[in-house]
Amino acid sequence: MNIGEAAAKSGLSRKMIRYYENYGLLPQAQRSDNGYRHYQASDLRRLRFIHRARELGFSLDEVSRLLALWDDQARASAEVKQLAKTHIVELEQRITELQQLKASLEQLTHCCHGDERPECPILDALAGNDNAVQP
């Protein structure tokens, strides 16, 4: 299949497929005489794997490790589980950080009158003037 078909079937854009190929997550595609990329069913399975792993928030390096484990039929599932558990901890940390950011932004929006006045605690805080924020 060509890159357009691979993109449609994998849920990835052509650009992302080329990026993953350049990054080394996907083997270099075979090329026809006119230079077009051609993908096999095994490439499509790999692309779907990459896509799902990225949807779950794994970094490119983590996806690379997961792919290596997937390719290794002699792997221990314990290594896969540990990688996933480590990722869960990282996700929990990001969730905490995002909740803190949300709370800060909620406080700022609460302090902003949102009317015709030019004073805006949101802009003041972004400019580094935290004294302007008063609940």
For the segment 108-117, what is each residue's pLDDT rounded down to a tens digit? Answer: 999 888 899 8
Q: Which domain holds residue 40?
A: 1-56
How does DSSP classify residue 30? E
- Measured distance CA(6)–CA(15) in Å, rounded: 11
pLDDT of amino acid 9:
96
* Domain total in the chain: 1
- pLDDT bracket for residue 121 (50, 70, 90): confident
Q: Which residues contact 13 (CB under 8 A, 6 or more apart)?
A: 7
On whether residue 93 sits in a domain, the answer given is no
On whether residue 11 sits in a domain, the answer given is yes
User: pLDDT digits over 43-92, tens only?
Assistant: 999 999 999 999 999 999 999 999 999 999 999 999 999 999 999 999 99
pTM for this structure? 0.80
Tokens 């609460």, located at residue: 110
On whether residue 35 sits in a domain, the answer given is yes
Residue 10 belongs to domain with CATH number: 1.10.1660.10
